Structure 1
């Protein structure tokens, strides 16, 4: 009888935990939290543009912290933002704080900072993170 009472108390707690929708508490290889990524390229939905590789791609990275902070290195600048995601693959970034050094005409720092507000979905396949913009206008592809 005591086991039945314990089960009656624990079952709703387990069910509520299973309904959690944010990814921020999870860590591991298929999670955003606790992982760092380096930018590989931007895949435009416009076939004329196709795949665009940033100059010096090694200068672009993002780390998703377990506290919901995303720390970006955008060429010579840094950007910090809050992020939230769901297990269904949606993601959003809050407006963040960014340093404002001039990295050069070809740098993607301001482009990526601007596009973060349009990121709607993410997918992790192996060591690849895809951040897709609203309207599927393009995807930033990052590698571990």
Structure 2
């Protein structure tokens, strides 16, 4: 076997291994095609105002809204106010329409203090990793994040 043939075979194997590794890394990160571009969510913060599921619609009072928050950081990290707890995770989104698209939110790690009722922090940290879609309503600017059985409605926190 010539040295040139062996070098070519080794180079091909190396390229195949690198491509396979990159594909696995992207899959493990929940990569969405097109998610490397900024979306309307990048750098925004929101207060939870309403939770809807098949059985109920719960509108949060103003004081509770300010304690249940979500911030989509530009670096792909996610910061959550979970009532008296704080949470962290990651997120990726891809716009599929005007101010709407698909979203992937990682499992949320959080502090675990016992918050007085009513509290929706546990619901939020458990439900957001099941999110699949988002949209911002043109008529009122509310962010709607949809999971398999719950709709979370958020109001944007304006820069202070």
Q: TM-score range by the shorter chain?
A: 0.7 to 0.9
Q: Which residue of 2 aligns with 1:54?
A: 60
1:81 lines up with 2:95 in the alignment: no
Work out the CA distance in 2 between the residues paired with 1:140 and 1:122.
9
Work out the CA distance in 2 between the residues paired with 1:87 and 1:57.
26
The equivalent position to 2:145 in structure 1, one of 87, 110, 131, is: 131
TM normalised by structure 1 equals 0.73
Work out the CA distance in 2 between the residues paired with 1:117 and 1:62.
13
Is residue 85–residue 111 contact of structure 2 (8 Å, CA) maintained in 1? yes
Is residue 43–residue 71 contact of structure 2 (8 Å, CA) maintained in 1? yes
TM normalised by structure 2 equals 0.66
The equivalent position to 2:34 in structure 1, one of 21, 28, 32, is: 21
User: Alpha-carbon deviations, 1:63-89, whole Å to 9, x = none?
Assistant: 100100110101100111100111121
Work out the CA distance in 2 between the residues paired with 1:52 and 1:107.
11
Larger radius of gyration: 2
1:32 lines up with 2:45 in the alignment: no
User: Alpha-carbon deviations, 1:69-121, whole Å to 9, x = none?
Assistant: 11010110011110011112111111132011111242111111110121111
In the comparison of the two structures, how many residue pairs are matched? 116
Work out the CA distance in 2 between the residues paired with 1:110 and 1:84.
22
Q: Is there any run of 5+ residues in structure 1 with no aligned partner, and where?
A: 1-19
CA RMSD across the alignment:
1.7
Q: Is there any run of 5+ residues in structure 2 with no aligned partner, and where?
A: 1-32
> Secondary structure of the equivalent of 2:144?
strand
